[in-house]
Structure 1
Amino acid sequence: MVISLGFEGSANKLGIGVVRDGHVLSNPRLTYITPIGEGFEPRKTAQHHRTHIHALLSRALKEAGVRGEDVDVMAYTKGPGMGAPLVSVAVVARTLAQLWDKPLIGVNHCIAHIEMGRQVTGAKNPTVLYVSGGNTQVIAYSHRRYRIFGETLDIAVGNCLDRFARVLQLSNDPSPGYNIEQLAKKGHKFVALPYVIKGMDLSFSGLLSFIERYRTDEVEVTWR
């Protein structure tokens, strides 16, 4: 039986999880919510993580029913992500690993997303469409490593949704993409959106420009 304690803080979401042999015991999270129409700055995001990480750690251990000495291994997001938030969380993880004398493993953010999906779905050797705030990639495992077979040539889908949510003046709580989805469920007018496929690669900057112009030109649209 192995108990692992993981720290995530690569962007505006701060999360601490406790896992025992693949079973999630706790996974509390806190999101840095910015004013409507604004993105999140690295410095302020890092400050948010530093302010709340101690309380979130206590909550994660309490919900899991474990103590620091029960932990066998610790992990933290090493990157990719926003530099300041990553460093803030990494410092806490390294400090605790030294205090508790536990092994510490730096985890690749992208691979963690894939492995979480494999764990939840039970998929064997999947081809993955990886979509996050900063990445949109087609990935598969080959010759003992993950390999990228196609990716966005400009902005990621997550970034595209975040920027469009700011155009619509939508809240970041709980996330821009979720709020766009809830409004879309209420709509009845469908608009064809252009995007470019080049082999296995994709381009979304034109899609963002189109919907920004559509929002400007069409005042009375269904999402209002």
Structure 2
Amino acid sequence: MVIAIGFEGSANKLGIGIIKDGVVLSNPRRTYITPPGQGFLPRDTAKHHQDCVLEVLKEALDTAKIDTNDIDIVCYTKGPGMGAPLVSVAVVARTVAQLWKKPLLGVNHCIAHIEMGRLITGAQNPTVLYVSGGNTQVISYSQRRYRIFGETIDIAVGNCLDRFARVLKLSNNPSPGYNIEQMAKRGKKFLELPYVVKGMDVSFSGLLSFIEERANQVLESGEFTPEDLCFSLQETIFAMLIEITERAMAHCGSQEVLIVGGVGCNKRLQEMMGIMADERGAKLFATDERFCIDNGAMIAQAGSEMFRSGQTMAWEDTFCTQRYRTDEVEVTWRD
């Protein structure tokens, strides 16, 4: 039996979760929300995490109804992510590990998303589409590594959506991507946008520049509504993502596809991926916002898998890094 506590703070979500042998005991979270039209800066986000972390830690322990003596392993997000928020949460994880006299493990954020997705959905060996504010990758497991088959060559899909939400001055509550999704449901007219797939990789920056430049022009003329633009953006970028995911599935002979990461909550993305999976006789696995969006339980789950398989970490290796590739990690817990 392994009880793990996980600390996540790589972007604007602060989460602390506790997992006992694959059962989520608690998973509280706080989100730093900025005014409409603004993104979140590293320094301000770190300050938010520092202000909230002790309250969230107490909530996690109280909800789980466990004593700190029962915890076997303390886990934290080592990277990738924004430097200041990562460090602000890692400092707390290091401190409690010393106070409670527990081993400490740094977890790859991307792998935590995958392991949480596998746990919650029961997917065995899926091709993974990992889509979030900072990452866009198509991944599959092979020979003790999560291999990256395709990825964005510039900005992440979530970053693309967030930046267009700023153009339209949409609220950041609960998230810009969620508000774009709701507006897209009411869109009727399709504006043709650049469709940029390069082999197994995708590019969003040119597409974003194109729609940003034309937004004011087509809105002022009344030719398109903000809802139409949200609809057009979603349909185009999701089609690009599904194309490269299907190609990876064909290459791997995969009959399972798993969507993880914050953008993975999007119901239209899940619907489009489900249509593709059905046509291939494959099965789609997806989760809701409790586990798609950054959370502490996913860090605890990945950390407990690492710990169970015998992984340890020297104290001098418990640092943070903004660049930590998915395929850098040796996956010792899978066959």
Shorter chain as denominator, the TM-score bin is over 0.9
Q: Which amino acid aligns with 1:163?
A: R
Query: 1:199-214, aligned counterparts within 5 Å?
Result: 199-214=199-214
CA distance in 2, matches of 1:174, 1:132: 15
**How much is the aligned-residue C-alpha RMSD, in angstroms?**
1.2
* Distance in 2 separating the partners of 1:183 and 1:125: 34
| Matching residue's letter, 1:10 | S
Mapping 1:213-224, distance limit 5 Å: 213-219=213-219, 220=222, 221-223=224-226
CA separation in 2, counterparts of 1:194 and 1:129?
21
Matches within 5 A, 1:32-181: 32-181=32-181
User: What letter is aligned with 1:23?
Assistant: V
SS of 1:182's equivalent in the other structure is helix
Letter in 2 for 1:154: D
The answer to which structure, 1 or 2, has the higher relative contact order (CA under 8 A, 6+ apart) is 2
Q: Using the TM superposition, give the Cα deviation of residue 147 of structure 1 relative to its aligned residue in structure 2, in angstroms.
A: 1.1
1:42 partner amino acid = P
Q: Which amino acid aligns with 2:100?
A: W
Aligned counterparts of 2:78 and 2:144: Cα–Cα separation in 1 = 20
Q: How far apart, CA to CA, are the structure 2 residues paired with 1:110 and 1:83?
A: 16
Deviation at 1:189, TM superposition (A): 2.4
Q: Deviations over 1:104-162 (max 9, x none)?
A: 11000111111111111111111111111111111111111111111111111011011
Q: What amino acid is aligned across from residue 125 of structure 2 in structure 1?
A: N
SS in 1 for 2:174: coil
Taking the aligned partners of 1:38 and 1:54, their CA distance within structure 2 comes to: 27
Name the amino acid aligned to 1:165: A
Is residue 190 of structure 2 the alignment partner of residue 190 of structure 1? yes
The one-letter code of the counterpart of 1:111 is: I
**Rounded Cα–Cα distance in structure 2 between residues aligned with 1:170 and 1:149:** 33
- What one-letter code is carried by the residue in structure 1 that aligns with 2:5? L
Question: Residue 218 of structure 1 aligns to a residue in which SS?
Answer: helix
> Whole-Å Cα distance in 2 between the matches of residues 186 and 68 of structure 1?
49
Deviates more, 1:148-157 or 1:76-85: 148-157
Code of the residue aligned with 1:178 in structure 2: it is: Y
Which letter does structure 2 place at the counterpart of 1:95? T
1:192, distance to aligned residue in structure 2 (A): 3.1
Aligned residues: 224
- 1 CA distance for matches of 2:10 and 2:192? 33
Amino acid at match of 2:218: E
1:186 is displaced (CA, Å) by: 2.2
Q: In 1, Cα distance between the equivalents of 2:180 and 2:218? A: 17
Identical positions, percent: 73
Q: What is the alpha-carbon distance in structure 1 between the residues aligned to residue 16 and residue 33 of structure 2?
A: 18
Alignment partners' CA distance in 1, 2:189 and 2:115:
37
In structure 1, the partner of 2:27 is: 27
Question: What is the match of residue 6 of structure 1?
Answer: 6
| Aligned-residue offset at 1:91 | 0.4
Q: 5+ residue gaps in structure 1?
A: none
Question: Which piece of structure 1 moves more, 92-101 or 195-204?
Answer: 195-204
